[in-house]
Amino acid sequence: MKKSTFLSLVIISGMITSIHAQDIYYTKKGQVSFFSEAPLENIVAHNNEVTSFIDTKKAEIVFSVLIKSFRFEKALMEEHFNTSYLESDKYPKATFNGKVKNPEVVKPEDGAYQVSVEGTLTIHNVSNPLKTTATVIIKNGLLSGMAMFNIRLTDYRIKIPSVVSGNIAEVVEVRVNCEYTPYDRK
Amino acid sequence: MSLLDNKKIRVILFITLIALIFAAGVFCYIMYRPHRDVQRETPVEVTAIGLVDLYQIDESSANLRFLDKAVQVKGVVAEVEINQAGQIVLILAGSDPLSGVRCTLRENKKVLPGAQITLKGKCSGYLSDVILIDCVIVD
């Protein structure tokens, strides 16, 4: 009885590690930046603590971003961004869950591959579908991904008071840049 | 005779000028005031193991206690990594091998895995690890 439990445990854990070793890539230090270009002011913010997983077998990709990890040049912007616009005390995370629609274009050898990604982006507790192209780069066996897309603030119920509307763009450009490692150790 | 020779007008002009300078000063102070420095705030003190446990038990109540606060965390360095921006990230071990406290350092310092360390930084929340940013080594 005991022996069989032990055996099945060994088999199951063996299966889990083999699944992980081959198909799952991750990062916990990916980058997401956004850019707002408005007549009065350009705003840039960077986040270096992005977690992302890619399941190459299922062509699935997920991102989790902490709103309070975005760093701005000006303290005032960072404060407004967190308290008034994104309400990061109430909604501390943004997430994206998606699928690569044409995973077959990515080859195991070194190169840059254009893929199209579709999924759901959740910011400020509001979810919207998102479609974008992304670049998958394979170099020396390492996998990285980059994407750039625009989001409309009103789609995520982010309200900008009219007093500062000249300082903040209605459409903000988001850039994603993640270098992945195989998920095998943990 | 120029308007400036009138004493009343001179006084009004002078007051207006002072008011304008004051307003510009206030504006610049608000627009360009320095970033909040968590290092000057009184921190919530906790061990790395305790912090991870609290987040794993109940994320939203842990957020009430730690999110956006200055947090001083004590623990053992399990891993040292460099992020894509070239900053050093120390991972302090939690009781669960899958989850720890990821601390992005404000200034790069060489730290070896295995070291017992105390860090102070701002808690920006929980992904699969608790994230502290803008960290400075206290001890």
Confidence of residue A168 (pLDDT cuts 50, 70, 90): confident
State the first-to-last Cα distance of chain B, in angstroms, to the nearest integer: 73
ipTM score? 0.82
Instruction: Read off the pLDDT of residues A49-81 as tens digits, 9 standing for 90 and up.
Output: 999 999 999 999 999 999 999 999 988 889 999
Provide the total of helices (H) and of strands (E) in chain B, helices listed first: 3, 6
Instruction: Read off the pLDDT of residues B57-102 as tens digits, 9 standing for 90 and up.
Output: 999 999 999 999 999 999 999 999 999 999 999 999 999 888 999 9
Alpha helices (runs of H) in chain B, residue ranges in sequence order: 7-32, 48-57, 59-66
Provide the total of helices (H) and of strands (E) in chain A, helices listed first: 2, 9
| CB < 8 Å to A48, chain B | 83-85, 87, 104
**Residue of A27, A31, A51, A66 to mutate for B, most B C-beta atoms under 10 A:** A66
pLDDT at position B139, please?
Answer: 87
Cα of A151 to nearest chain B Cα, Å: 23
Using CA coordinates, name the residue in chain B closest to A51: B127
pLDDT at position A146, please?
Answer: 97
CB-based contact B133 A88, cutoff 8 Å = no
Helix axes B59-66, B48-57, angle to 10 degrees: 130
pLDDT at position A150, please?
Answer: 96
Which of the pair, A175 or A165, is modelled with greater confidence?
Answer: A175
| CB < 8 Å to A186, chain B | 97-98
* Phi, psi (deg, nearest 5) at residue B71: -125, 130
Cα of A186 to nearest chain B Cα, Å: 6
Confidence of residue A6 (pLDDT cuts 50, 70, 90): low
